[in-house]
Structure 1
Amino acid sequence: MTEELEMIVFSIVGNAGEAKSLAQEALTFSFNGKFDEANELLKKSNEAILKAHAIQTDLIQKEAGGEPTPISMLFVHAQDHLMTAISEKELIKKMILQNKRIFELEKLIKIK
């Protein structure tokens, strides 16, 4: 693996890791009814995923143009991180919506 490809791989891992952390932090905010903060963190999580995905797309386009990417364990690790980040963010987004519904229902119960 070249140094350039190594930097690209670590960029994917870094952005995917940041996306997961931000999404998990958003979920924590939602447990406390702080949905505006949670949504802001989800937006930032999505931005990090888009950065990683853009890097991945560039590699795919290069390969489609005849410039293959050598596969290594680090490259597989980066792909795994990105896939997991996307999956976790989508699940957390749904969990935050559930938390919001629970939060609203709890407010109704307390009123009655």
Structure 2
Amino acid sequence: MEKFRKEDLVQISMEMILHAGDARTALMLAYDLLEEDQLVEAESKMKEANDLLTKAHKCQTKVVQSEAAGISIEYSPLFSHAQDTMMTVQSQYILSKKIFKLYLKQTKGREGV
């Protein structure tokens, strides 16, 4: 049985952590911009966060597809950490989208006040 190289799993894990961490940073910047009523810029940061999460997810998919194809993958705490980080930031992104919608709904009626 073919085996997934440990070096490749480390590389993929680090890429996932990097992309997810950058996505979290973009989300926090989006909140700062939203707080300053810079909506276009805030939405741009939200898109950036989504794009980064997509990159992280594609990294994870490489590993999952390899295992589904019968390639043996040894347990890696680093990969587990990368998945946990990515999923946490994904949850944060989902909640952030909802918060943005609520914010826009609340401020819409106050224009010109």
TM-score (norm 2): 0.88
Amino acid at match of 1:64: A
1:50, distance to aligned residue in structure 2 (A): 0.6
- Unpaired segments ≥5 residues, structure 2: none
Q: Residues 1-112 of structure 1 correspond to what in structure 2 (within 5 A)?
A: 2-107=6-111, 110=113
Is contact 1:29–1:38 with CA below 8 Å preserved after alignment? yes
CA distance in 2, matches of 1:106, 1:32: 15
Is contact 1:31–1:99 with CA below 8 Å preserved after alignment? no
More helix by share: 1
Which 4+ residue blocks in structure 1 deviate beyond 6 angstroms?
A: none
Superposition CA RMSD, Å: 1.5
Q: What is the percentage of aligned positions where both structures have the same residue? A: 30
CA distance in 2, matches of 1:44, 1:80: 20
Q: Which secondary structure state, in structure 2, belongs to the residue aligned with residue 17 of structure 1? A: helix
TM-score (norm 1): 0.88
Is contact 1:45–1:89 with CA below 8 Å preserved after alignment? yes
